[in-house]
Amino acid sequence: MSVYKIHLTGVGGQGTIKTSTIIGEAAIKRGLNVVMSEVHGMAQRGGVVTTDLKIGDAHSPLIENGDADLVIGFEPAETLRSLPKVSEKTFVITNSARIVPFTVGLGLSEYPPVEQIISELEAKVKHLFVINAEELANKAGNIMSLNMVLLGAATAIPRFPIGKDEIIQSIKENLPPKTIEVNLKAFELGFKEVSG
């Protein structure tokens, strides 16, 4: 099969790396090769966290501009920042709930209204899914399950190369047992957002 490329972006603490690992381990269950890049160290705290995942016959873990098959944005401004990865073929899932960095309070940068970000994404992205993942995570029982809402949505995307069962199995193996119920509920809510 050709290489399927997923770019995840979010803010430190939102669970982007965990989500990527869950997808990667699920790919292995399906017998696929997978490579992934992670950001560690000084860049973590409150900073932008991105990961690239390539599923299939790939050696390097980096995704070039315009080359992503799927972009999962955990925060609207971060989805917009990753716009260069997007082209006509790309499916984009974005959370619409924002995290305002302290630089805005200090007057060092500005955060545009979410509506403006979403309308720019709508104008430029052919296959866009906007989800209030924060609201759905709260509905599932815990804001911390926000990443599972987005993973659920991703799993429902056409051409997503891994089955729902494999993803669910990987979630069970990667998250603390007492959180599984809430996380799977969040996953289903996200899945339904895309599958309808």
Do residues 153 and 190 lie in contact, with contact meaning Cβ atoms separated by under 8 Å? Answer: yes
Q: State in angstroms the smallest separation of the CB of 134 from another protein.
A: 10
Segment 5 to 44, residues that bind another protein, using CB under 8 A: 11, 20-21, 24-25, 28, 33-44
Are 118 and 54 in contact by the 8 Å Cβ rule? The answer is no
The footprint of another protein on this chain (CB under 8 A) covers a number of residues equal to 56
172 binds another protein (CB under 8 A): no
CB of 113 to another protein, least distance (A): 9
SS3 at position 127: strand
- C-alpha torsion 138→139→141→144, nearest 10: -30
Residue 162 engages another protein in binding (rule: CB under 8 A): no
Residue 176 contacts another protein per CB under 8 A: no
Q: At 83, list the tokens.
A: 């716009």
Q: Does 181 bind another protein (CB under 8 A)?
A: no
For the purposes of burial, counting CB atoms within 10 Å of the CB of 56, is it exposed (0-12), middle (13-18) or buried (19 or more)?
A: middle
CB of 65 to another protein, least distance (A): 5
Residues 99-158 that bind another protein (CB under 8 A): 100-106, 108-112, 116-117, 120, 124, 143
Strand partners, 71: 7, 92
- Among residues 3 and 195, whose Cβ is nearest to another protein? 3
DSSP state letter for 3: P
Q: Least distance in Å: CB of 55 to another protein?
A: 11
